[in-house]
């Protein structure tokens, strides 16, 4: 399958089955903003729940928070976002690359016909220099003036840094410990695209781990290992995951070391999560800008220091896209194309489809009762319309791992068939056991 067609097919399946819709579609859509439909919201929620489970509930040394999207504007001065994104920039209308206006590689004057793009070599395609900030601005209160400017956060991390002492004191944690958060972030991306890969509104799953200076390198290695394993446990093909180490020219000003976990998308190897050793940059800056001491006092050692931070930062939408890309496949079955989303049962939006084989002989009644029973334990879907083969296919496309059919033997023998999405094999299982049967397979890694 050609890679571009794979993305086209996926976008179309996502719309058809209710995973992802274009935002405000009836008005022609809004650029690089997407809405999650009934199946998509479940998929993304499962991603976030798994992250929260692994990062917060399963550990003693990480606390969760949910900070507000709007923050004091000084936060973004301290973080470097206000200054860092307001350089004059020029864009190439042809290759969509963006450069600083003073980039020495640009020949001619940007905005004029003689200017040449240093990447694609096109002439006359460079825009006039423009001041550009990636942050979305809005106003707080009734007056739209400079003093009232606030920003939609471009990352969730800052909400963690400014709450570090609150969490430390209220939770009685000691260093080393971490704070985790899932939430929306907004970036006025200039070259967005590739469906939900790069959007202007997205969700981050970030964790900041506070450590004693000098122990940061070993914590960094541990976190690299744990985070890669988490992605593998989602069922992603291991060969499509790799590390990318930031070289000196890529490294952000605050980072002492940075590695990205990349996935091999149809449009190339791309970052899905970053693991960064940020040193004491963040707490140092907030200490300076707020005038509040953010040091940690280690009672046992009678030492005072500013903790170093190891950050793990993943995008929930990117992970959801990774799962969809990884899961999509087409197979030829009895002369027909079968489209399957081979999602891991733990992240599949619907866990089981329930079908009466025919709409008579008491089968719908038995199937409905079973369906209501299952729905108390996990998301299930009832379908009695069309041939059974078509009903299975619809569930294959939605990524539903189990199809449960009530047939002519169910009433007398108290058994149903359980059809497995991937192998299409069928097992006969007791009506009273089928909920446990499915639940065990959802939980099993
Ligand atoms: P990129 O280089 O792709 O722009 P980044 O290095 O700016 O990403 P970070 O600031 O490290 O990304 O953000 C951490 C994570 O947040 C990324 O790994 C990604 O999963 C997610 N993310 C960042 N920007 C976007 C976006 N515009 N749309 C969707 N997810 C995003």
pLDDT in tens, 119-157: 899 999 999 888 778 899 999 998 888 889 999 999 999
Confidence of residue 99 (pLDDT cuts 50, 70, 90): confident
Beta carbon of 315 within 6 Å of any ligand 1 atom = yes
Nearest residue (CA) to ligand 1, atom 26: 198
Q: What is the pLDDT of residues 39-98, one digit of tens each?
A: 999 999 999 999 999 999 999 999 999 999 999 999 999 998 987 655 678 889 888 787
How do strand 136-139 and strand 149-152 relate by DSSP bridges?
antiparallel
pLDDT score for 85 = 58
**Is there an atom of ligand 1 within 6 Å of 311 CB?**
no
361-377 confidence digits (pLDDT tens): 999 999 999 999 999 99
pLDDT of residue 209: 98
**Phi, psi at 126, each rounded to 5°:** -85, 135
CB of 199 closer than 6 angstroms to any ligand 1 atom: yes
Alpha carbon distance 199, 202 (integer Å): 6
Q: Residues 6 or more apart from 375 whose CB is under 8 A from it?
A: none
Residue having the nearest C-alpha atom to atom 29 of ligand 1: 198
Helices marked H in 247-362 — which ranges? 281-290, 316-327
Name the residue at shortest CA distance from atom 19 of ligand 1: 315
Task: Round the average pLDDT of the chain to a whole number and report it.
Answer: 94
Choosing from 202, 278, 316 the residue with most ligand 1 atoms within 8 A of its CB, the one to mutate for a pocket test is 202
Q: Of 186-200, 256-270, 385-399, which gets the smallest average pLDDT?
A: 186-200
Q: Is the CB of 271 under 6 A from ligand 1?
A: yes
Task: Return phi, psi of residue 321, to 5°.
Answer: -65, -40
pTM, rounded to two decimals: 0.91
Preceding peptide of 176 cis, ω within 30°: yes
pLDDT at 288: 98
Q: Which residue, among 298, 296, 242, 304, has the nearest Cα to 273 in the 3D structure?
A: 242
Report the share of the chain in percent with pLDDT over 90: 84
pLDDT band at residue 2, thresholds of 50, 70 and 90? low
| Integer angstrom CA distances of residue 227 from 215, 254, 432 | 18, 21, 38
pLDDT in the model for residue 115: 93
Q: Is the CB of 318 inside a 6 Å radius of any atom of ligand 1? A: yes
Q: Measuring from atom 25 of ligand 1, which residue has the nearest CA? A: 198
Atom 20 in ligand 1: residue holding the nearest Cα: 315
- Under 8 Å between Cβ of 13 and 293: no
């Amino acid at each position: 399958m050609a890679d571009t067609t794979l993305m086209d097919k996926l976008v179309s399946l996502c719309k058809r089955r209710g995973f992802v819709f274009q935002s405000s579609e009836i008005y022609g859509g809004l650029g690089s903003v997407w809405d999650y439909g009934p199946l998509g919201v479940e998929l993304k929620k499962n991603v976030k729940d798994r992250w929260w489970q692994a990062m917060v509930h399963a550990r003693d040394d990480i606390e969760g928070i949910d900070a507000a999207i709007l923050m004091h504007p000084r936060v973004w001065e301290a973080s470097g976002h206000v200054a860092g994104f307001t350089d004059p920039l020029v864009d190439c209308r042809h290759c969509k690359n963006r450069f600083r206006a003073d980039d020495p590689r640009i020949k001619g004057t940007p905005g004029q016909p003689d200017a040449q793009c240093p990447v694609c070599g096109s002439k006359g395609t460079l825009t006039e220099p423009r001041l550009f900030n990636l942050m979305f601005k809005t106003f707080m209160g009734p007056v739209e003036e400079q003093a009232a400017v606030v920003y939609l956060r471009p990352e969730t991390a800052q909400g963690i840094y400014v709450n570090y002492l609150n969490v430390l004191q209220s939770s009685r944690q000691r260093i080393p410990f971490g704070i985790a958060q899932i939430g929306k972030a907004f970036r006025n991306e200039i070259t967005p695209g590739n469906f939900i890969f790069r959007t202007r509104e997205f969700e981050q799953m970030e964790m900041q781990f506070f450590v004693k200076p000098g122990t940061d390198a070993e914590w960094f290695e541990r976190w690299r290992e744990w985070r890669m394993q988490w992605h593998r446990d989602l069922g992603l093909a291991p060969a499509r995951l790799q590390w990318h180490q930031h070289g000196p020219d890529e490294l952000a000003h605050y980072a002492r070391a940075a590695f990205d976990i990349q996935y091999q998308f149809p449009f190339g190897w791309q970052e899905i999560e970053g693991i960064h050793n940020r040193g004491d940059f963040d707490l140092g800056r907030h200490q300076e800008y707020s005038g509040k001491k953010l040091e940690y006092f280690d009672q046992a050692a009678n030492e005072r220091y500013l903790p170093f931070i190891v950050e793990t930062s993943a995008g929930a939408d990117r992970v959801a896209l990774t799962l969809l890309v990884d899961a999509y496949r087409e197979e030829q079955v009895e002369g027909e194309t079968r489209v399957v989303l081979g999602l891991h049962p733990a992240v599949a939006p619907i866990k089981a489809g329930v079908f009466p084989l025919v709409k008579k002989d008491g089968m719908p009644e038995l199937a409905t009762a079973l369906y209501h029973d299952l729905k108390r334990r996990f998301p299930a879907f009832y379908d009695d319309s069309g041939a059974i083969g078509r009903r299975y296919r619809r569930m294959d496309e939605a990524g539903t791992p189990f199809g449960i059919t009530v047939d002519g033997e169910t009433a007398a023998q108290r058994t149903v068939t359980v059809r497995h999405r991937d192998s299409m094999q069928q097992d006969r299982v007791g009506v009273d056991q089928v909920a446990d049967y499915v639940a065990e397979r959802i939980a099993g890694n």
